Structure 1
Amino acid sequence: MPHPPHSLHDGWCLVLGVSSGMGRATARAVAAEGGHVIGVHFDRAEGAEEARRLEEELRATGVRAHLFNANAAARRTRERLVPKIAELTEGAGLRIVLHSLAFGSLVPFLPRGGDKTVLTQPQLEMTLDVMAHSLVYWTQDLVAAGLLRRGAKIFAMTSAGTTQVLPSYGAVSAAKAALESHVRQLACELAPHGVAVNALRAGVTVTPSLLRIPGHEEFVDRSAAGNPHGRLTRPEDVAEAVVALSRAPSSWLTGDTIGVDGGELVAAGTTWSTAKETEEQ
């Protein structure tokens, strides 16, 4: 049976941050569509073993999958892997690039209470380099290698932290704001090439990176109560959006920050279940 027009079948997807959260869910969703997956993750011990099992799982669906354990934010990783990606894709290039790198410093800018720990310059610079600037560097190298063809889609994971404040989240907030700025710039520069670039603003999602945020329990409970769907965003919700947005060959939807949160942001500050109960009385 022929595949439908604009199918992802036999296309290639590069996932930066493939071993957990949105990256892992996207790899699975692309494989379910018959797309091949190249992933980069940075794990040791148990995390590396989980990535190996994910690679086997993806290949079991009948697609090609190659996951590399390396620091995706390092220049030497790009220098080593970009030629490898060109070799693996055999001239086809990449259909999807997902930037889902979530590694940064969760330290306040100023002393708080009896804790004198504050964010340092190297920590701030590292957070922005990994979570924001690396998108630019990867895009530059992929373009130089001819791996982004007309119709390709680039997605970068952002968050409501660009406009909201959480304790100890300042460096990550700055990185997400920079990331969205990079998305807009890249979208304009890649538009003549027919390549779309968008940021996906996921709702609060329970991932390893979220669990590292101090005080995340209260934040999670509040977000679940405020979401009109009555639950948190799941990594699979984000993966579904990536697949849906990647099917179209058009690059006209570009330069945007697209909410994938079930209405969480527009309902922020409201305990939705209570509001519904009041309305029904």
Structure 2
Amino acid sequence: MVLGVSAGSGAAIARALAKDPGLDIFGVHRGRHPDSAGAVARDLGALGRKLHFRIGEAGTAESARAGAEEVLLVAGARQVKVLVHSIANASVGSLVTRGVTQLTPRQIEKTFSSMAHSFVYWVQELAARDLLAPSARLIALTNPVVGSLCPGLGVIAASKAALEVYVRQLAIELGPLGHRVNLVNFGLVDTRAGSVGFPSEAWEQAKARAAAVTPARRLCTVEEVGRLVSVLTGDAAEWFNGATIDFTGGMTQSLLGIVLNASGMDSNQGR
């Protein structure tokens, strides 16, 4: 099950899980990238895997409840081997700075609901309906922004910090049942979601600077993120639990802050 499956990291993870360990995919997306979602469907079909799309919001308690009911109808009990939270639905803006767009309470609440709270909502609903398979792997995604001071990204950083706490708490509660809950922290990736808030020229500069401060001198790819998630579903990764897994390729949080601050982040933009 992949929340945010139509593009970017979510799409790459769906492809990777369909290939190895060979899972059918229940994917949720908002329908904003039909061409990309169609490509995911074709690729999974070529691998011989089943795909069920639920088109709609995934970042609220109500959507989690309705989605879990749909999973029960489509797949039945104890069929969710992997849950991946890859929702990108946040607002960019200042908290108090004058002269730029300030975030409203509604934008802050939406960001926290989509980027953090919804992971809990989906786990709650899946568990309540006995939908989690034995030794299920529950995986959320974050990035080094959570530890950086970047203009316009304060509420995203705060929501990702909350997500990290949720992962540890869920690991404590679900560990005795045999489930594993982890957080993957990967570096800057070149996706549409990642570029929101940057003017096009500034986004190119941010990518170049991020590559320059990464030991391999390049950005992480979404395909690499997908392969890591595949690894985390296997027996060799069973002892990972409650962990924030560093997959930044050596890019430190402080360096990313320098990269983004130097790249002309536009606090007036949001998503």
TM-score, L = length of structure 1: 0.84
Residue 267 of structure 2 is matched in structure 1 by none
SS at match of 2:233: helix
Q: Which moved more, 1:229-238 or 1:209-218?
A: 209-218
Q: Distance in 1 between matches of 2:253 and 2:197?
A: 23
Q: Which moved more, 1:246-255 or 1:142-151?
A: 246-255
1:10-45 Cα distance to aligned partner (Å, 9 max, x none): xxxx0000011110001111111221111001123x
Alignment of structure 1 residues 100-139 onto 2, 5 Å: 100-111=86-97, 115-139=99-123
Alignment of structure 1 residues 163-174 onto 2, 5 Å: 163-174=147-158
Paired amino acid for 1:78: A
Residue 83 of structure 2 is matched in structure 1 by 97
Q: Distance in 1 between matches of 2:78 and 2:113?
A: 29
1:216-265 Cα distance to aligned partner (Å, 9 max, x none): 33332211001111110111111111001111177431011001121222
Q: Distance in 2 between matches of 1:68 and 1:41?
A: 7
Q: Which has the higher contact order (CA 8 A, sep 6+)?
A: 2
Q: 1:50, CA displacement in angstroms?
A: 2.6
- Contact 1:203 1:261 (8 Å CA) reproduced: yes
SS at match of 1:200: strand
Paired amino acid for 2:60: A
Residue 160 of structure 2 is matched in structure 1 by 176
Residue 138 of structure 2 is matched in structure 1 by 154
Q: Distance in 1 between matches of 2:105 and 2:138?
A: 30
1:62-108 Cα distance to aligned partner (Å, 9 max, x none): 01111121100133332332122123324442111100111111011
Q: 1:146, CA displacement in angstroms?
A: 0.7
Alignment of structure 1 residues 221-260 onto 2, 5 Å: 221-248=208-235, 251-260=238-247
The reply to whether residue 39 of structure 1 matches residue 55 of structure 2 is no
Q: Distance in 2 between matches of 1:90 and 1:123?
A: 35
Alignment of structure 1 residues 6-25 onto 2, 5 Å: 14-25=1-12
Q: Which moved more, 1:141-150 or 1:87-96?
A: 87-96
Paired amino acid for 1:210: G
The higher radius of gyration belongs to 1
Q: 1:95 to 1:249 in 2, by over 3 A?
A: farther
Paired amino acid for 1:32: K
Residue 181 of structure 2 is matched in structure 1 by 197
TM-score, L = length of structure 2: 0.87
- Contact 1:191 1:251 (8 Å CA) reproduced: no
Q: 1:119, CA displacement in angstroms?
A: 1.2
Q: 1:206 to 1:28 in 2, by over 3 A?
A: same
SS at match of 2:218: coil
Q: Distance in 2 between matches of 1:19 and 1:235?
A: 13
Paired amino acid for 1:255: G
The one of 63, 66, 71 equivalent to 2:49 is: 63
- Contact 2:145 2:253 (8 Å CA) reproduced: no
Q: Distance in 2 between matches of 1:49 and 1:21?
A: 12
Q: Distance in 2 between matches of 1:27 and 1:266?
A: 27
Name the Cα RMSD after superposition. Answer: 2.0
